[in-house]
């Protein structure tokens, strides 16, 4: 049976977290002389001279309302990338523990694991980019702490089958992290409603994609209060800066315009798919539940280089295992997509 207590590293269990000035006193006062801030103001007018809320209370309330999730189930990171790093640091002993990744997938699970000196075991996705349940089970031992899954998956674009994810949540004796960075573009819903049913589930989401706020660096982990408390204990006290907290609180009011953009992107994705499929050098366009298409072409390196000469940069995934021949193309604006298609048609004409 899964017990998060068995997964937390001993040094993290023992850890007395840093108490910031705002932890030791957070009531009302007229004069704050406790945090060595600049009392005269900032280089940016009279703003930002005070440390931001280390617990991001207002933000967690607002995200909780948006996601219909209690603040106790929410961790906010400096991008999902910080959530990934903290999960390693809280749960995996360097040099001893291991985790499982399912390539081709998001590269940070592996890089971040290596930085933390965690053994990376790989259970490649099957040909249809679904998880290989048998391989995952065969790789699991008593030191396996985390299974990293990405749905919709980057770079393939597809969602993992729901029954496969439920099976893994039930049978994998460790944390099952499902990275839902692209979930707002997917036909299937988030696994958020399953949070209460699976104590080993951690969901990652981000404001970098559908919400279009990549520069602000705001990632979210949703999990049991027990897991969230440990992540909060280990994070740097002020990991979400004041400007980000302010701007995101305002931006979260814009759900309607986010939805509009998301719908336009989905329309554009299907137009792009249709047009790309007409090109003679396109061999396959994989199903996508995200804001990009993985496209298998003849001569990917040449097409990639050609597009660069036209000022268009796509992601060359040709060298990635499981993605031979593939370019990953983010859906652009209608104009950008048209420009891309014109370039590719030109490439066709010049290459025959
Ligand atoms: C883009 C992306 C993220 C987002 O990371 P941030 O650090 O929140 O910007 C996370 N996971 C996957 C799979 C992604 O493609």
Any atom of ligand 1 within 6 Å of the Cβ of 73: no
CA of 301 to the centre of ligand 1 (A): 25
pLDDT over 70 at 303, yes or no: yes
Mean pLDDT value across residues 144-160:
98
101 forms bridges with which residues in the sheet? Answer: 122
Least confident stretch, 13-22, 287-296, 301-310: 13-22
pLDDT over 80 at 351, yes or no: no
149 forms bridges with which residues in the sheet? Answer: 178
Supply the mean pLDDT for the chain: 96
Query: Residue 261: its pLDDT value, please?
Result: 96
Any atom of ligand 1 within 6 Å of the Cβ of 150: yes
Mean pLDDT value across residues 59-66:
98
pLDDT tier at 350 (50, 70, 90 boundaries)? confident
Convert the pLDDT of each residue in 212-223 to its tens digit: 999 999 999 999
Query: Residue 86: its pLDDT value, please?
Result: 98
Q: What is the pTM of this model?
A: 0.97
The number of the ligand 1 atom at minimal distance from the alpha carbon of 83 is 7
User: Ligand 1 pocket test: which of 87, 181, 221 has the largest number of ligand atoms within 8 Å of its C-beta?
Assistant: 181
Any atom of ligand 1 within 6 Å of the Cβ of 206: yes
Any atom of ligand 1 within 6 Å of the Cβ of 288: no
Is 102 within 8 Å of 62 (Cβ atoms)? Answer: no
Query: Residue 183: its pLDDT value, please?
Result: 98
Any atom of ligand 1 within 6 Å of the Cβ of 230: no
Any atom of ligand 1 within 6 Å of the Cβ of 81: yes
Any atom of ligand 1 within 6 Å of the Cβ of 181: yes
CA of 104 to the centre of ligand 1 (A): 15
Mean pLDDT value across residues 84-100:
98
CA of 330 to the centre of ligand 1 (A): 14
The Cα 337–Cα 93 span in angstroms is 46
User: Ligand 1 pocket test: which of 101, 106, 216 has the largest number of ligand atoms within 8 Å of its C-beta?
Assistant: 106
Convert the pLDDT of each residue in 40-55 to its tens digit: 999 998 899 999 999 9
């Amino acid at each position: 049976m899964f017990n998060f207590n068995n997964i937390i590293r001993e040094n993290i269990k023992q850890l007395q977290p840093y108490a910031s000035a705002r932890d030791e006193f957070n009531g009302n006062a007229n004069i704050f002389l406790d945090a060595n801030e600049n009392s005269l103001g900032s280089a940016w007018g009279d703003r930002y001279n005070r440390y931001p809320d280390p617990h991001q209370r207002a933000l967690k309330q607002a995200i909780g309302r948006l996601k219909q999730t209690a603040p106790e189930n929410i961790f906010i990171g400096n991008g999902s990338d910080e959530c990934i790093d903290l999960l390693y640091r809280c749960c995996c002993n360097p040099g001893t523990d291991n985790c499982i990744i399912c390539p081709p997938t998001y590269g940070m699970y592996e890089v971040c694991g290596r930085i933390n000196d965690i053994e990376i075991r790989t259970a490649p996705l099957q040909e249809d980019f679904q998880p290989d349940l048998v391989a995952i089970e065969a790789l699991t031992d008593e030191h396996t702490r985390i299974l990293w899954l990405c749905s919709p998956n980057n770079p393939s674009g597809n969602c993992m089958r729901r029954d496969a994810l439920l099976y893994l949540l039930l049978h994998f004796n460790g944390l099952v992290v499902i990275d839902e960075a692209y979930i707002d573009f997917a036909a299937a819903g988030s696994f958020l409603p399953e949070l209460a049913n699976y104590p080993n589930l951690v969901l990652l989401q981000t404001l970098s994609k559908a919400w279009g706020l990549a520069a602000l660096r705001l990632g979210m982990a949703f999990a049991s209060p027990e897991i969230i408390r440990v992540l909060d204990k280990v994070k740097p006290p002020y990991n979400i800066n004041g400007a980000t907290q302010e701007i995101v609180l305002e931006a979260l009011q814009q759900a309607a315009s986010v939805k509009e953009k998301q719908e336009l992107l989905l329309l554009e994705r299907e137009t792009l798919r249709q047009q790309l499929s007409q090109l003679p050098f396109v061999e396959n366009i994989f199903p996508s539940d995200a804001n990009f298409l993985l496209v298998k072409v003849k001569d990917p390196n040449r097409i990639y280089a050609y597009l660069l000469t036209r000022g268009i940069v796509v992601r060359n995934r040709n060298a990635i295992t499981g993605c031979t021949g593939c370019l990953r193309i983010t859906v652009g604006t209608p104009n950008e997509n048209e420009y891309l298609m014109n370039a590719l048609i030109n490439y066709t004409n010049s290459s025959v």
